Structures are given as structure tokens and as C-alpha cells.
Amino acid sequence: MKYPKHPMLFALAAAVLFMVFAGTASAETPFEGRKKCSNCHKSEADSWIKTAHAKAVDSLKADRNKEKNAAMVKAKLDPKKDYTKDKDCIGCHVTGFGSEGGYEISDPDKFLVGVGCESCHGAGTDYRKIHRKAGEAFEKSKKVTPRETLAEAGQDFEFIEKCSACHLNYEGSPWKGVKKPYTPFTPTVDKKYAFDFEKSVRNNKAMHEHFKLSGTFEGPPTPKFHEEFQKDAKPAEIGKEE
């Protein structure tokens, strides 16, 4: 490419180039909802459905339980009000709000209700196709697929940024990415809302229980707790995509 000699033109060309690249980078994988994930990963899905994450939208409904009503009052919110259509609330209680394919207030998809699979593992439209292919290849000939291909397709193996965007999103938080709307439930309201990633990620009652992987995927990136979880994992029930 020939660079324009005039500094203003050069700056303009640079700006255009930047916009083109920034545009490509922001074309992220769409969300899709947990239907397909749950059909294949039956064990994790059956465990997840019992968690607070799965029921998170219930906390926004006016008929929430007594304990939650008390929590609402403590956070200076109206316990008699329904907050399920409030854009300052719903985002952290559903999957993919504000992103392509994610939850919409005007058109609520039941597979995006609650903090679902893709809230932690990443928007899954692309990587779940690799799971299917790699699973078939492994079944047929024990062929192993590098985990790196999943990361490239948008699967998250770090988790911490995802959790923080909901749990540490408030003014004065130690997390760098804070932006409105903030969570009303901060350590100032009650110390129990302080978020400790290392401890929380080991809380199987909040994530889901862990089940044995057969080794279809291999290599980095693996979270440092991966081996620890797999050591005590139960046998998995795997279904088929529907």
C-alpha cells in the first residue's frame, strides 16, 4: 500500500483502517440459548437447572421469597415491584442481554432466561459445532482435537471476566471493567456480596456439578482448576443434538 504524503490524509487513512479492523474484531459469535448445549450435556444441564443462576429471573419478579424481599429492602429497592422488564436489572439475570442472539425484553426466549451455559462458557453458535464434529471424530477413531480451536471460536476457559461483569460491576469495585447498570448488591449493602472468584468457582451448587470428560479436547487453554474438578467428576450422561 502507498501511504499518502499529507499528514492529515495519512491520519484519515489510518483512521479508516482502524475502523475496518475494529469492525472485524467486534463481529462476535452470536448467542443461541442453552437448548442444544443441554441436549448433549444432559448431566451438566440437570445439575445447572437447580442453581440460583438458573432461577435468577425469579428474583426480579414481585412474588420473590421473603429472604429476597428483605434483600431488596436492604438494597433500597421496591419489593412489591416487578423488575423483569427493567433494562437496569435484567442484563445480569439472563443470558447474552445486549448482544446478538441474546435475551430481549420485548421477545423473551425461554432458553435465554437465567444465567445460562453461554453466560460462563461464551456465546456458543460457533464452538458447539466443533463439539459435535470433534465428538464424532473421537467416537469413531479416538481422534483428539486441540482445545485451542474452541477458544478461537469464542469458548471461554478463564471465566473470571464473565463472572466479574455481573458480580463485580459496581462503583468502587476492584474490577477494572465497571460500567452502568451496576448491581445493587454490593459489599457495602452486605459483606456477603463480596465476590471471591477462587471460592465461588468451586461452588458446584452455583456452577453445576462436574462430570467426567473422555478427552475429546486436549491442550491449552485449560483453567488451573480443570484437573481438580475432573479428579472428583462423576460419569457423564451425553445426549444427542436435537
d(CA 241, CA 38): 9
Question: What is the closest distance, in whole angstroms, from the C-beta atom of residue 198 to ligand HEC in the complex?
Answer: 9
Q: Of 9 and 158, which CB lies nearer to ligand HEC in the complex structure?
A: 158
Report the C-alpha gap between 118 and 48 in whole angstroms: 12
Give the CB-nearest residue to ligand HEC. Answer: 124
Cell numbers that stand for 20 in this block: 475496518
Q: CB nearer to ligand HEC: give 20 or 232.
A: 232
**Closest separation in Å from C-beta 4 to ligand HEC:** 45
Chain center to CA of 99: 12
Task: Give the nearest distance from C-beta 216 to ligand HEC in angstroms.
Answer: 3
Grid coordinates given for 103? 435475551
**Min CB(11)–ligand HEC separation in Å:** 37
Q: Looking at beta carbons only, is 6 or 143 nearer to ligand HEC?
A: 143
**CB-based burial label for 179 (10 Å; 0-12, 13-18, 19+):** exposed
Shortest distance, position 119 Cβ to ligand HEC, whole Å: 4
- Residue type at position 50: K
Q: Hey, CA dihedral for 152, 155, 161, 162, is it positive or negative?
A: positive
Rank residues 63 and 107 by Cβ distance to ligand HEC and give the closer one. Answer: 63
How many Å apart are CA 189 and CA 199, to the nearest integer? 20
Closest alpha carbon to 216 in 130, 144, 153, 152 = 144
Query: Cβ 241 to ligand HEC, closest distance in Å?
Result: 4
Nearest CB to ligand HEC, comparing residues 13 and 226:
226
User: Measured between alpha carbons, how far is 71 from 193 in angstroms, rounded to an integer?
Assistant: 11
Task: Tell me how far, at minimum, the Cβ of 96 lies from ligand HEC, in Å.
Answer: 9
For cell 434483600, what's the residue?
A: 71
Q: Which is nearer to ligand HEC, 13 or 166 (CB)?
A: 166
Cα–Cα distance measured from residue 158 to residue 163, given in angstroms and rounded to the nearest whole number: 10
At 65, the amino acid letter reads: N
Nearer to ligand HEC, 113 or 163 (CB): 163
Residues that bind ligand HEC (CB under 6 A): 34, 36-38, 40-41, 44-45, 48, 52-53, 56, 59-60, 64, 68, 71-72, 77, 83, 86, 88-89, 91-93, 115-121, 124, 128, 131-132, 135, 147, 159, 162-163, 166-167, 169, 181-185, 193, 200-201, 203, 206-208, 210-211, 213-217, 222-223, 226, 229, 241
